[in-house]
């Protein structure tokens, strides 16, 4: 039997706002969580991304807040989010579904002046949405009192763990009243988060609508073996985007912020409508980029994992992993940006030979195979010719580490032996020659600039040339 929003016990104002937004039936997490929240029970909500976790606490909170009034600097409810984008998105949900209410919602995030935020707090906030760091800044400045908080929501709890916010969360919980309602929402539930819930929640109800770390069945997942160099990867990405069927828009995920900017510039140079989003951008630029992507004026968003968690962009048709995520849980969140709200989606991951172990970890986590676009390669014993420039095999790295530990006793390389043999033999009693500038200094600088331009890793050690100090004589030859 299908449940309707009108049957969940929500207030009439909330139900009318939901109907005006075009929704009549709740998602599974909403149908199970909302009644418990309305009964003021502590709750742990576990569901894969894109299932409507945000509305499952926003809607009942609006109903509970219909009674009562906020006082200056004393918020009635507190919602903690790991990133500015997620905090801003929850704020938009309160504006959307709370349009029939006269509630004050304050948003405390970095990149915005303290003065404007203080004005909101001084008027009194029914709902305070914040990132942990900025909220503690206001508290330490004496601009915020937490003794009136009745409901605490910790959203994307596993992301809080990944970003190192757990100490801040523990401190914030210690500042709140002991008698409060606490709601935990997360896509995964690591052991560290489980311990946190046991410490700060009282007899919580657990609502789990999907197996932890699972991926949606409506997402077509593929792996694609590509060349190891950055140029080959970027070319493969462009080919995949051009060949994609029914591509409306796409998010391209990179592991490093530097690569986000590089890949975005590369796509723009080749005629794609692309933009970058990463944590080093100022807040205005980040929000402007997201707004352009949401409204369709930007077709391809190249992003770091700042865009992997919780962002509600419902119509993303494709996700491309330019790099395989080093943490398997991030794969679940990344591909969860597509296939939302029952739509079909496509996720393609570019894999270089050195990333085989990360692919194995992902398959083990989601407990389902991922098909290869073409024959599945054997990455465990990838030949040296297929490794990326500057990368060594595991056994070679061990030998190199042992050699460095022995210091000067280690045997010189053949190139060093050849250079030493070619150098004139020093004479102890002869005075040293005046040093001359190395002849190949300009050549070396040109090589370094070229490597940086190609985005390849800088070589470690002598490289293809013989260093000048091995060719320089240490004294005059005997006559």
- pLDDT tens column, 386-403: 333 333 443 444 444 444
Question: Would you say residue 421 has pLDDT above 70?
Answer: no
Under the banding of pLDDT at 50, 70 and 90, the label for residue 290 is confident
Domain contains 459: no
Task: Write down the pLDDT at residue 361.
Answer: 93
Task: Write down the pLDDT at residue 287.
Answer: 84
- Within this chain, do residues 101 and 201 fall inside the same structural domain, yes or no? yes
Write down which residue in 371, 386, 401 finishes a domain.
386
- Within this chain, do residues 203 and 226 fall inside the same structural domain, yes or no? no
At 29-84, the pLDDT tens digits run 999 999 999 999 999 999 876 678 899 999 999 999 998 888 899 999 999 999 88
Domain contains 400: no
- Within this chain, do residues 153 and 177 fall inside the same structural domain, yes or no? yes
Radius of gyration of the chain (CA): 28
What secondary structure does DSSP assign to 34-95, as a single string?
A: HHHHHTT--EEEE--TTS-HHHHHHHHHHHHTTS---BTTB-SEEEE-SSHHHHHHHHHHHH
The Cα 29–Cα 32 span in angstroms is: 5
Nearest to 415 by CA among 362, 479, 461, 369: 461
SS3 207: strand
Domain contains 431: no
- Within this chain, do residues 145 and 200 fall inside the same structural domain, yes or no? yes
The Cα 448–Cα 452 span in angstroms is: 6
Task: Write down the pLDDT at residue 474.
Answer: 57
Instruction: Please give the model's pTM, rounded to 2 decimal places.
Output: 0.64
SS3 182: strand
Write down which residue in 359, 386, 413 finishes a domain.
386
- The per-residue pLDDT of the chain, averaged, comes to 81
Under the banding of pLDDT at 50, 70 and 90, the label for residue 341 is low
Close Cβ partners of 269 (under 8 Å, ≥ 6 residues apart): none
- Within this chain, do residues 194 and 294 fall inside the same structural domain, yes or no? no
Under the banding of pLDDT at 50, 70 and 90, the label for residue 466 is low
> What are residue 223's DSSP bridge partners?
349, 372
The Cα 200–Cα 195 span in angstroms is: 9
Write down which residue in 328, 356, 386 finishes a domain.
386
- Within this chain, do residues 235 and 182 fall inside the same structural domain, yes or no? no
Task: Write down the pLDDT at residue 294.
Answer: 87
- Within this chain, do residues 30 and 173 fall inside the same structural domain, yes or no? yes
Domain contains 45: yes
- 142 DSSP 8-state letter: T
The domain that holds 261 is classified in CATH as 3.40.50.300
At 345-380, the pLDDT tens digits run 999 999 999 999 999 999 998 889 999 987 667 654
- Within this chain, do residues 55 and 162 fall inside the same structural domain, yes or no? yes
Q: Tokens standing for 252?
A: 């391209």
- Within this chain, do residues 344 and 268 fall inside the same structural domain, yes or no? yes
- Within this chain, do residues 180 and 267 fall inside the same structural domain, yes or no? no
Domain contains 469: no
- Within this chain, do residues 84 and 193 fall inside the same structural domain, yes or no? yes
Under the banding of pLDDT at 50, 70 and 90, the label for residue 189 is confident
- Within this chain, do residues 185 and 225 fall inside the same structural domain, yes or no? no
End-to-end CA distance of the chain: 104
At 144-178, the pLDDT tens digits run 999 999 999 999 888 898 888 999 999 999 999 99
For residue 310, give its domain range.
Answer: 219-386
Under the banding of pLDDT at 50, 70 and 90, the label for residue 246 is confident
Number of domains observed in the structure of the chain: 2
The answer to whether residues 79 and 150 touch, using CB atoms and an 8 Å cutoff, is no
How many angstroms separate the Cα of 213 from the Cα of each of 258, 328, 466?
A: 28, 9, 51
Phi, psi of 356 (to 5 degrees): -60, -35
Q: Compute CA 20 distance to the chain's CA centroid, rounded to the nearest angstrom.
A: 33
Q: Quick one: CA dihedral 44, 50, 54, 59, positive or negative?
A: negative
Close Cβ partners of 5 (under 8 Å, ≥ 6 residues apart): 15, 18, 19, 23, 24, 25, 26, 59
Q: Tokens standing for 109?
A: 């995030």
């Amino acid at each position: 039997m299908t449940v309707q929003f009108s049957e969940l016990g929500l207030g009439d104002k909330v139900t009318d706002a939901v109907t005006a937004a075009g929704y009549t039936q709740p998602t599974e997490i909403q149908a199970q969580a909302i009644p418990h929240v309305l009964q003021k029970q502590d709750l742990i909500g576990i569901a894969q991304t894109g299932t409507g976790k945000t509305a499952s606490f926003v809607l009942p909170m609006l109903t509970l807040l219909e009674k009562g009034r906020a006082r200056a600097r004393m918020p009635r409810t507190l919602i903690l989010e790991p990133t500015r984008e997620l905090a801003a998105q929850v704020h938009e949900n309160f504006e959307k579904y709370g349009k029939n209410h006269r509630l004050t919602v304050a948003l405390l995030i970095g990149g915005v002046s303290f003065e404007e935020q203080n004005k909101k707090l001084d008027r009194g906030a029914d709902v305070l949405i914040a990132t942990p760091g900025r909220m503690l800044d206001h508290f330490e400045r004496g601009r915020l009192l937490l003794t009136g908080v009745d409901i605490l929501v910790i959203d994307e709890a596993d992301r809080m763990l990944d970003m190192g916010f757990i100490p801040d969360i523990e401190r914030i919980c210690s500042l709140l009243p002991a008698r409060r309602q606490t709601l935990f929402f997360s896509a995964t539930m690591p052991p560290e988060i489980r311990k946190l819930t046991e410490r700060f929640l009282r007899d919580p109800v657990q609502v789990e609508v999907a197996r932890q770390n699972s991926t949606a069945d409506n997402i077509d997942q593929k792996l694609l073996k590509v060349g190891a160099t950055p140029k080959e990867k970027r070319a493969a990405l462009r080919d995949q985007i051009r060949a994609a069927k029914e591509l409306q828009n796409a998010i391209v995920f990179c592991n490093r912020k530097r690569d986000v900017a590089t890949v975005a510039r590369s796509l723009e140079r080749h005629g794609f409508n692309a933009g970058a989003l990463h944590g080093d951008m100022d807040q205005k630029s980040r929000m402007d980029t997201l707004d352009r992507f949401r409204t369709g004026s930007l077709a391809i968003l190249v992003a770091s994992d700042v865009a992997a968690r919780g962002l509600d962009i419902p119509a993303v048709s494709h996700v491309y992993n330019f790099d395989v995520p080093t943490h398997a849980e991030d794969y679940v969140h990344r591909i969860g940006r597509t296939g939302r709200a029952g739509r079909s989606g496509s996720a393609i991951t570019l894999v270089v030979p050195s990333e085989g172990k990360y692919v194995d970890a992902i398959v083990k986590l989601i407990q389902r195979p991922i098909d290869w676009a073409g024959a599945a390669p054997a990455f465990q014993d990838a030949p040296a010719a297929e490794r990326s420039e500057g990368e060594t095999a595991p056994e070679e790295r061990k030998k190199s580490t042992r050699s460095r530990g022995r210091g000067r006793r280690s045997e010189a390389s053949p190139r060093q032996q050849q250079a030493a043999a070619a150098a004139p033999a020093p004479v102890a009693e002869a005075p040293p020659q005046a040093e001359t500038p190395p002849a190949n200094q300009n050549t070396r600088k040109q090589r370094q600039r070229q490597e940086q331009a190609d985005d390849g890793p800088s070589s470690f050690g002598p490289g293809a040339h013989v260093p000048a100090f091995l060719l320089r004589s240490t004294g005059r030859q005997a006559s």
